[in-house]
Amino acid sequence: MRISKLHGTGNDFLVTGALDGSGAPGASVARALCDRHRGIGADGLIALLPGTDGADCTMELRNADGRIAEMSGNGIRCLAWVAEREGLGHDGALVVDTGGGRRTVSTDFGSGSADFATVDMGPVTFAPAEIPLTAPSAFDLEAGYHGVTYSGDAAGVGNPHLVLFVDDVATARVTQHGPHLERDERFPQGTNVEFVAVVDRRRLRMRVWERGVGETLSCGTGVCAAAAAAARRRLVDTELVVEVPGGEHTVSLGETIRLGGQVRHVFDVDVDEQELVRSLA
């Protein structure tokens, strides 16, 4: 199995090609490969699958815990880097089917570390049934844990998010409260949790607890959810930058939301599948 490791603003993924129809690796393989102590280590495993009905390819993403995730804004940019190397797409554009819907990635992949890609992430939804959320409204939700009460909004970007506004992300108790908030009973599929501070009208600062992964250096769908929630509250303009521990994203809000950021290829490695299976025993 050929594995490529890449990251988008520190959100790292393993991408494996399955364009020959061999199918995507299962949950146990994803857990083994993503394990940071016994495997290669990553926030998720992405399978590059054949496209259908006009798509250049299909993305299947499993989080580090092995569970299927619908979409990743950083992950799809990493997949695009590998797909372009495989000769997919044309004129700097790649059409990708994901669990969160069809997405188009515009690429500017040169040599060195300055590779950049922008994804049309589609519209952000605040409709509870589409997130999905069982509360009557996605707005002004309160969530509390260990005596701390947060306020924010739920949003859907092909996957569920809870955007919580805080004064200072540096002191936010992401790792302590994130595991509890991820399992908020109002989110039937669980949720990603963003802790967001407004710097000014063109800049947000964010940390994130990702469902099925933990705190990560970046989350592309989380960046989109945070920007859309802040814009709905009229806290930011429609063109802005979102800072995360792994770097910066550009965000453009309109009928759909466009997410831009760097992609860095780390290495390629061949994994002996039989040896991997033995390691799981």
Q: What CATH number is given for 2-110+267-280 in this structure?
A: 3.10.310.10
Could you tell me what percentage of the chain is helix, strand and coil, using 3-state DSSP and rounding each to the nearest 5? 20, 40, 40
The set of residues, in sequence order, having a beta carbon less than 8 Å from that of 103 and lying 6+ positions away, is: 71, 76, 95, 96, 97, 119, 120, 121, 122
- If pLDDT is split at 50, 70 and 90, which confidence band does 280 have? confident
Residues of the chain with CATH 3.10.310.10: 2-110+267-280, 128-255
**How does residue 114 score in pLDDT terms, banded at 50, 70 and 90?**
low
Q: How many CB atoms lie within 10 A of CB 103?
A: 23
In this model, does residue 40 exceed pLDDT 80?
yes
Q: With a cut of 60, say whether residue 113 has pLDDT above it.
A: no
- Cβ–Cβ contacts within 10 Å for residue 251, how many? 27
Quote the pLDDT of residue 141.
Answer: 97
Superfamily covering domain 128-255: Diaminopimelate Epimerase; Chain A, domain 1 (3.10.310.10)
pTM score, whole prediction? 0.89
